[in-house]
Structure formats: C-alpha cells, structure tokens
Structure 1
C-alpha cells in the first residue's frame, strides 16, 4: 500500500501535509469514524482524497453543493484521477451508465447529493459498490442549528446499516459546539476521533470601520494595499456599480456574480487570478474552490448574513501566511438595511403555501403528479405574474430546494434556435448583395446543413470561433436576417431549471416541512443579531469575538484588529481639532471629507471627533451627509 506522503507528492506535488491532515488520514485508515472541523483554507478535501487513493475501492462523498462537486471532480480528472458526480438534472439512463462506470470502470470517487441517496434504486446500486470510505462534506447541514440545514442529511446515517465497517468522515469548516454535537449524533458516528483546527487566523487583521463614504474608504485601502483584493457585495447591481466606480478611480477591477454566463465567469476570474485586475467585486456566488494564496484584503461593504459566512469569505485572504486584512465597512443605516435584506424577506408558512400552489399552477402540474419532471423557469416572470416579492419568493424556492422537495438549478443561459425560411439560391443572392454578412452566413450553413428544413439549436460560441467573428457581430446579423424574414429566430433566456422530486400534494407537502421553516427563520434572526453585535461592540478584540462565537476561548487579544489598534495608539487630545471643526462649520456646512481636507487631519481622527460632537449634541448631520451646527 502506498504511503500517504507518496500519494500527496504524486498527485498534488506537495512535500508536506498541512496541520491535522496527516492525523485525520491516519484515523480514517485505521477504520475510525472521524469528525474534522477545519476552517476554510485548511485543505479538507485532501483528508479524504488521499486515503481513498491508498485503498482499493471507491470513496462515496456526500455534498450539498453542485458547484463544489463539479469543481472537485474536474480537479481530480486534471490530476488523472477518475471521479463522477451525480448532480441534479441528470436523466435516469445517464445515472445508470455512471453507476455502471463506478462499478466496473475503476473509478475512485463518487460524489452525490444527500437527496440522491433518498432514491431507493440509487441506494441499492451504491450498496453493491466496493466503498472504502464515506465522506460527509459540509456536515453542518445535518444540524438543525447549522446555517445550512438540509433534512436529507438526516438520512445519511442509514448508510451505517449497509456499510457498518466503513468509516464515516464528517468534514465542516464552520460549526459551533451545539452543531458539532448534532453532527456526531445525527450521523450515528461511533466514538468518533475528533480533530478541531483552531479558528484563529493570526495573520488576518479583522477591521470594522464606521464610515459615511464607503467608496472613499475603499480607495484609501486599495491604494495602501495594491495586492489582489476581493470586495463582497450583496447583489449583482452593486457588483457592476462598484467595479465601474473603481475603474473610474484608476483601479483595474472586474466583477463576478451568479447571473454571468460560464464564459463570463471564467474570463473575469482569470483576469483576477492572473492579476490583470487588482480587485474582483463579487457576490457570495464567488469563492467556491478559490485558493489564491496572496489575497491581501477582503472588504465587505454590506453586513453579512451570519458570522459563519463572514468568516469563510474573510478567510480567503492571507492564505500565504502573510499579514492580510478582513475589512467590514458599516454606516448607521446598515442594520436597518440588513434586517430588510435578511429578515423581512423570510417566507412564513402562509407565503410558502401560496407560492408553492401558484408555482405548481404556473408549471401546470396537477395534484398527485410532477415527480421527476423538469421545467425551465424564469423567476422574474413568475413573480410578476402573481405579484410576489422576488427575494422572498427566491428564499421560499431555496427552502424547498433545501428540503429536497424540488431541485433549483440556476442556469442563466440563452438558448437560440433558428431556421432559414427562403430557398438556398435566395440566401446566396442575399450574401452577394451583403458581402459583410457572407462569412457568418456561410459558416452557419456549413455547420447546420438541415437548417432549411427544421429549427436548429444554435451554438453561438462555436459559430463565433469558426467564422472568426465576435458573438455580438453574429447576433447583429441574426437580428437583421430575422427582421428581413430570411430566418425564423428564437432566443429564450432561462435563469433557472426546476426539477420536482416529489408529487404535488399542496398542504401535505408544506405541512411536513413547516416546522423546519419556523426553526430556520428563528436561527437566521439569531445569526444576524450576532453580526450586529460584532459590529456594534467597541470594547472587545474582533478576533476574540469570532473565536468566542465558534466556542473557542481566546485568552489574549490579537493585537492587530481595529479594536486592538485603537488601544495601542497613544491617547490624543482632540480639543484643538474639535475647535477647528466648530469654527469651520460657523461659515458653511461641510462633509467629513471636506473637513478632513481643510483641517489636514486623518479620516479616522476627523470621524472620531465628529461622532463625539454628534453625541454631545453640538452637531447634526443632514440628508446630504453634510454636518451643520445645532442651533
């Protein structure tokens, strides 16, 4: 049997294991159920991939994240390791073929969602595989107190009955003590060996700044730290706006969100990975499988939903061990906005029931039918038709996805079909009169010889490559041909695919999951309150607060967070600056930046004094963010 280090060197070209990896691998190889809490960037995948390669048979990996499964399978294949992922949207015949490959094709990894294990026939096929290890990734999903509870995870423990001698390896990056206990109990693990890597990231300075002008603060931070940076925002619109504003300020910036095509995502990601862009402005869709060691700064300009997500996103900085910054910029209105974004959009049982019934009607699913049916779905159109608020509806659909009632696949694709309506000789005549369009039209005709007889599914990137024209140029020609009646052209944008995993049963469907909805809503409120406490607390080390949240007791302050820095600074006498500000405001109303320029003081000092003057009722702040003397 090959040594673990030899496997690591052969496939990953690393000469040493990271902290706890070797110990976890040894525990699994000894046949022990094993629980591992390893914060983001700790190298969890190595802990099951190496022992699986050392033993005969195949490793079963249960994961809730389609993107992560695809990413890991692609990475394994790039290393010459055979892996398969049974993701949503795969037809039954394909699944049968894939499972045949697992049984007879010398595959080493089978990735499945927990919902797949609820299909008896799939479970029967898996029982016949030579399983050498069962890995439960994102194991916090088994806990009702976790930030991503999925009831399908509760069924994983049944694998113990079928594979009593095969070790379970439960992996998670974020688990409070209550969640950890739940994981071990609900998975039915037998006296598991437990490994917990400290949540402390001693090289990351957690900074919280209350500012009026966030863009100005970002500009200061990025100029001071010109290395690769990530800015997290809450929505796609902010991605575009902040990226554009940064470019106007002279920064090389790009953006990333779930609404981009795969091609756009890859292109923008590569710009940042290759450091042709200093900054990538992103929603939380960005980050899966990202391991760029030299990220210097991660900036959040809106409050995160919970500490778990914040810790994971902030932890994408400083993976090379050098000092890095996790910056959270806040303003007084952020708490109200966060409540509006995270709490007011939570669906209650009545809304969930109404939305589910309307969804079934919208897709024309009769009572008692719908199982395994697949539908293209446009969320905005659905919400507009029934007058539903978009975000609340999205959350309700995500909840049903989490419960395994439906599978919600966000595709964001444009599907084009076309057919030529006029005879071929007329098309040739048109190209002779329009020579600029000739190359594109001839490429289409050569690629799709039957395009005169039937509507052909049109591959835009392929035609762009063959004709040596941009996709925009090809679309312009297609629109022109369509307007002239030369072709019949259809373009359909789908932002999602819905797969129904159960028959429609209206109240019965919703009633069986409503208790989970109530508990989940309560948990989300608790979690947001923890974020608000983290921001509002002015007298505690920020690193210590994060460690305490995850049940890890810190005895000393970190020395580098925003609180520790203020404590280390010698106390200043701000009376002179206070008098200067009061004198300036006698003549005109000013913003904090204007005051900073006129007094030649640092932004931090000016903001500190302004806050003191506001608290002492000497000033008021107007709607235009200018300060004026209180009369």
Structure 2
C-alpha cells in the first residue's frame, strides 16, 4: 500500500479524492513546503494524514483547539491508526509516558498545541522523535489579522531549525493579507500554494428580514424537513429554541460547550442518526462534523465575522444538493449594532479587573498558581463581582489565546448530601416513585454513610451506573431536597482554568495589552464587514463572500436572496398593494406580510424597491411609512 489512493480506500473507504487533495498530498510527499486554503468541507486533515501514513516516522500536528485535536485522534484510532494528543492539564509523568509511546510505540501522529511547544522539556523530547512531517492546522491563528490570533504560533517557525522535513499550513478561511502572513511568519520555503474557490454553487445565502423568527422557522422546516442546524449565540437560547421547536411538533435537540461529554455525544448521535432532524447549537458545535445531507443552516443572530459565518453556513449541502444558509434578522440599525458590539469588547481596565478577581476568587497569592487547575461557575463568578458575563468570557478566551491560562468548557457537578429521613421511608418512596428509584438505589449502594453524615457524591458516576443522564440525577436530587428528604449542597462548574504561569498582576496584563487593543480594532473591522454583507441589497451574497476572501472574478450564484429576487419580475401589484396599505398606518414587514397574500420574498423585494425610489421610509419604530 504505497499510493495515496490505496490509503484513502483502505482507511477512509472513499473511492476518489476531493478537488486538489491528491495534488496537495503529492506535493507534500515530494518534500515541498505547502500552503492549503481549503474552505469548509474541503477535507483538510486528509492532506497531511495520508502523506504521514506513507512516510516512515511520526507526523507532528500543531492545532490550537483541544476539542478538534481530540476529535481527530479519536477518528484516527477508530481506523486503527495510532495517534496521541498532549492535551492540557495532564501531569508531567503522563506527558512523559505519552512521549515515550511516540518514540517506541509505532505511533503515526502526535497532536500538540502551540503552547505545549513552548515548554522546553517537551520540545527537547519531540526533537528526538523521527518526525516525518509538520502540519500546522488552523494556520490563520499566526496572523494578527486572522480571527483567532495566538502569539504562540509565532514560535512555530523555530521548528525549521530542528526538522528538515516538509511543513504544511492549512486553513479554511484566510484573506489575502492573512495568507501572506502565514507563509512569511512560518518561514515556508518557496511554498506551493493551493486555494480552492470559496464559491458554493449549490448553497444559497439568504438574508431574511423578519420580526417573528419563530414563525419564520416554522415555515422553513415545514418546507424543508431535512436535517438542519440552527446557530444561536448563547446556551440559554439553545435550550429554549429546542424545547419550543419540540412543542411545535418538530424533532430537535441542542448542543453547547456547557454540556457533559456524554450529553454532547448523545445529542450529537440523535441528530446524526436523524432521530431528531434539528440541532440548535452555539459555535461550540461543528468541530469535525461532516454530515453530508444538511439541507438548512439558520443563524438567528448576526455572527461576529464573515470567517465564522462562512464556516458555519458551509455545513449545509456537502452532498452537492441544493441547500440554504439563512440568516434571520429584523431591520437593523447599523450604528446601534456597532456600538453594542464595541461595548462588549473588553478593554485594558476590564482585563485587569477580571484577572485580579480571578486570582482573589481562587485565593492565589502573588507569584503562585503555576500549573494549578481550578474550576469555575462563570455566571456565579460574574454575579459575585458584578461584572458582565459576555465580556468576562471574552477576557478568559483572550488570556487562553495568549497562553497565560488554558481554558476548557465543561460541566462538573460537585454535590454533597445527607438523608434526613430513615432508610425505610426512602425505600417506601422508591416503591411509589419507580422512575426515581434507579438513581436513589445507586446512591444507597455506593455511599453507605449518607444517613449518618454529609457525603460527597459523584453525580456523573451515579448517572452512568443508573443508566441515566447527569442532568436527570440533578433533577431528582433537587426534587428530594424540595420534599425535605435530603440536605443537598450542589455546586456546578462550567469552566476549568489551568494557570500556565504564576500570578504577576500588572506585569502579566500589561505585556499583552497592545495585542488586545489590536485585536479589538480588527474585530470591529470584521464586524463592520459582516454588517455590510447583511445590509448590502445590490450584490450577489456569494460574490460578496468570495470578494471578502480575495476572489475578484466570482460570478453571481443565481440562488441567494439577491439573485432570487433579481430573477423574479416583481409585479407592480405588490408595490401598489403595499403603498395602499401604508396610506392608513405605518406597518412592520411582518404586519405587511400577514395582511397581504404575496410571498415573503416578493414583499421584501418590493419594499427594497420602494425604499430605493424614496416612495416609503423606515421610521424610528422600525415600521414602514409612506412619504
């Protein structure tokens, strides 16, 4: 098995490569440095995994995302390919053992974060390995103009001194400026550059103006009942929209960073196996997901940048069938949205405040904390210090990207309880409440002292042994407490924080403030570009995206919201009907839509024409009014 196609067929069970994959693999195998810009769904990982399998030695993969590294390692293991990840938070001894396995255990892939390579002893161990290829995933992180800049990426170029092997840099989203930065800062030698087009011929981008998002979702899913993704900005919306859709008769589940691993896997499985057709998710969802038959991706809020929007929208239609990326938004006040966005960006003073509060909360003395792991409930922490949850999380993400902290989302319920009633009363309760019985009986079997004293219990273990979810265990415990059967103390943590350096207050923060200010400026520019994309009613949406990423000769797609309206000959009766309606009172687009019998697209198109011709205007209440 010495040909790339043989490896593809054997391990991935595919009969042919996707566009440019084989050319990239051949280039890497010839020993040349390579830059690969493969928009979402292009199959980036195969481009370094197949060459690594064909070459003697081990492939060093550098990635900033713990979840993505774990996902790729699990996928490789499922194919009986030996792979290891040096995830954060593991001990010196365990790391050492894993590196021994890399040296002597016939492993083909070692996944590390760029921050790991800054640990001298780890780097010394890796330098002794027979590395056959260095792959830099999410390579846009090396550029300050990339949407996830990480300074640790700037140190990767030093590996060129130790490994005389090909380097391959991969990304799904990079503007021309970011592309130049990647090649320069990684010191790629005469790199062969591969770039797939950002155009997706089968994917229609639609901006739908609506005040009634739930009503519009009902229309969408009745018309397109195939598998769908809804992206929202916070965990609460995930749960609420999923529950509401289920109440309306659609099958839905949800996914966010605060779920336990088991809950994520269960919910993901429900959706992948189409036991539920809709998954409502935050941007934590999508890592390594390649479900080909997703028909519709819906965004219920405007994303922060085109890079994220393109990747998330691009999870629709990977089977080549016609699909839709729908962004639902009311009429927007651009300046108001910009000001709100800027107000949620953390500045120097707020970053200082969060870092100081964090140290006080964990009771870390000056000069202490190095390599200590802590757990945090973000909402409780923010309530304690009366600070914004959104801005605080942004600070923690920033400190993570600077390598000062390592941040992980999790759900960890620490519980302690003592029964306040006699054992025979507990047994009587279980006989009358059979649904609660497995959880209670599991507690009694595993924690014999719960009647005599307060006992710390492991809710995840109880869930596993009783064959239910941790969420259900917590619900039952709260129910028992409400009935005064137990004394319960429950603390839920949704974040773990590993300190990568000792507490040094002003010195720690002051040395990264300039990076924060630059990043804030770039984020504002990116958000402005996203608002321009949403607001522009004069160009094809696919063309706008392609131009943002540097493709100047992109052709209109024919299926986006702009092209669809342009290709329709709008009957004068729509405009006339709207004008007659507005003679009596000002109305929102939803009120107009509910009154007239025309389609949403026809009404939106007519409203845009009337606005452009100054026949109507949008008043301060976001209602249309005749001039």
**Is the shorter-chain TM-score for this pair beyond 0.5, marking a shared fold?**
yes
Q: 1:224-263 alignment to 2 at 5 Å? A: 224-263=223-262
Hey, what does 1:61 align to over in structure 2? 61
| Helix, strand or coil at the partner of 1:275 | coil
Q: Equivalents in 1 of 2:147, 2:226: separation in Å?
A: 32
Q: Which residue of 1 aligns with 2:183?
A: 184
> Is contact 2:263–2:469 with CA below 8 Å preserved after alignment?
no
Correspondence for 1:49:
49
- Determine if the alignment matches structure 1 residue 151 to structure 2 residue 151: yes
Query: Structure 1 442/4 Cα, relative in aligned 2: closer, same or farther at 3 Å?
Result: same
Unaligned runs of 5+ in 2: none
Alignment of 1:169-568 (within 5 A): 169-333=168-332, 335=334, 338-339=337-338, 342-417=341-416, 427=423, 429-430=424-425, 434=429, 436=431, 443-448=442-447, 458-460=457-459, 462-464=461-463, 466-467=465-466, 478=477, 489-568=488-567
Cα distance between partner residues in 2 of 1:176 and 1:490: 51
Matches of 2:278 and 2:482, distance apart in 1: 42
Aligned counterparts of 2:372 and 2:548: Cα–Cα separation in 1: 42
What is residue 604 of structure 1 aligned with on the other side? Answer: 601
Change in Cα spacing, 1:334 to 1:113, as seen in structure 2 (3 Å) is: farther
Checking the alignment, whether the CA contact within 8 Å between 2:305 and 2:526 is kept in structure 1 is yes
Aligned residues of 1:303 and 1:334 also touching (Cα < 8 A): no
> What does residue 107 of structure 2 align with?
107
Following superposition, the deviation at residue 45 of structure 1 comes to 0.7
Judging changes above 3 Å, is the alpha-carbon distance between structure 1 residues 334 and 248 closer, same or farther for their aligned structure 2 residues? farther
SS of 1:411's equivalent in the other structure is strand
Scaled by the length of structure 1, the TM-score of the pair is: 0.90
Greater Cα offset, 220-229 or 330-339: 330-339
Change (3 A) 1:102 1:451: farther
CA–CA separation in structure 2 for the residues paired with 1:583 and 1:538: 24
Larger mean CA deviation between 201-210 and 181-190 belongs to 201-210
Cα deviation for residue 374 of structure 1 reads: 1.4
Assess, with a 3 A threshold, how the Cα gap between structure 1 residues 101 and 542 changes in structure 2: closer, same or farther.
same
Indicate how the Cα distance of structure 1 residues 396 and 285 shifts in structure 2: closer, same or farther if over 3 A, else same: same
Q: Secondary structure at the match of 1:111?
A: strand
- TM-score of the superposition, structure 2-length normalised? 0.91
Q: Quick check: 1:302–1:334 contact (8 Å CA) kept in 2?
A: no
Aligned to 1:16: 16
Deviations 1:80-115 (A, max 9, x none): 111111111112221112111111211111111111
What 5-or-longer segments of structure 1 have no aligned partner? Answer: none
Residues 390/569 of structure 1: CA separation in 2 closer, same or farther (3 Å cut): same
Contact 2:87/2:112 (CA < 8 Å) preserved in 1?
yes
The alpha carbon displacement at 1:15 in A equals 1.5
* Partners of 1:35 and 1:194 within 8 A in 2: yes
Q: Which residue of 2 aligns with 1:83?
A: 83
Range 551-560 or range 289-298, more displaced = 551-560
Cα deviation for residue 294 of structure 1 reads: 0.7
**Local SS of the residue matching 2:26:** helix
CA distance in 1, matches of 2:31, 2:439: 61
Which deviates further from its counterpart, 549-558 or 178-187?
Answer: 549-558
421 and 331 in structure 1: CA distance in 2 versus 1, 3 angstrom threshold: closer
Q: Secondary structure of the residue that 2:326 maps to in structure 1?
A: strand
Q: Is the 8 A contact 2:242 2:254 kept in 1?
A: yes
CA contact (8 A) 1:622 1:628 kept: no
Q: Between Structure 1 and Structure 2, how many residues are aligned?
A: 622
Cα distance in 1 for partners of 2:27, 2:378 equals 46
Distance 1:552 1:129 in 2: 41
8 Å contact kept, 1:303–1:338: no
Question: Contact between 1:418 and 1:487, CA under 8 Å: does it hold in 2?
Answer: yes
CA contact (8 A) 1:102 1:110 kept: yes
**Between 367-376 and 146-155, the greater mean CA deviation after superposition:** 367-376
User: 1:536 and 1:238 mapped to 2: Cα distance?
Assistant: 25
Q: In 1, distance between residues paired with 2:234 and 2:578?
A: 37
Q: Distance in 1 between matches of 2:407 and 2:340?
A: 21
Alignment partners' CA distance in 1, 2:158 and 2:468? 55
Cα distance between partner residues in 2 of 1:480 and 1:596 = 46
Q: Residue 378 of structure 1: CA displacement?
A: 2.2
Distance, in Å, in 2 between the alignment partners of 1:61 and 1:469 is 37
Corresponding residue SS for 1:557: coil
The alpha-carbon deviation at position 533 of structure 1 amounts to 1.4
RMSD: 2.9
1:486 positional shift: 8.6
The verdict on how the C-alpha distance between 1:553 and 1:471 changes in structure 2, with shifts beyond 3 A counting, is: closer
Q: Which is further off, 214-223 or 541-550?
A: 214-223
Where in structure 2 are the equivalents of 1:21-40 lying within 5 Å?
21-40=21-40
**Which whole-Å CA distance do the structure 1 matches of 2:185 and 2:577 have between them?**
63
Shift of 1:314: 0.9
Deviations 1:580-619 (A, max 9, x none): 4455556677654554454422223334445566674667
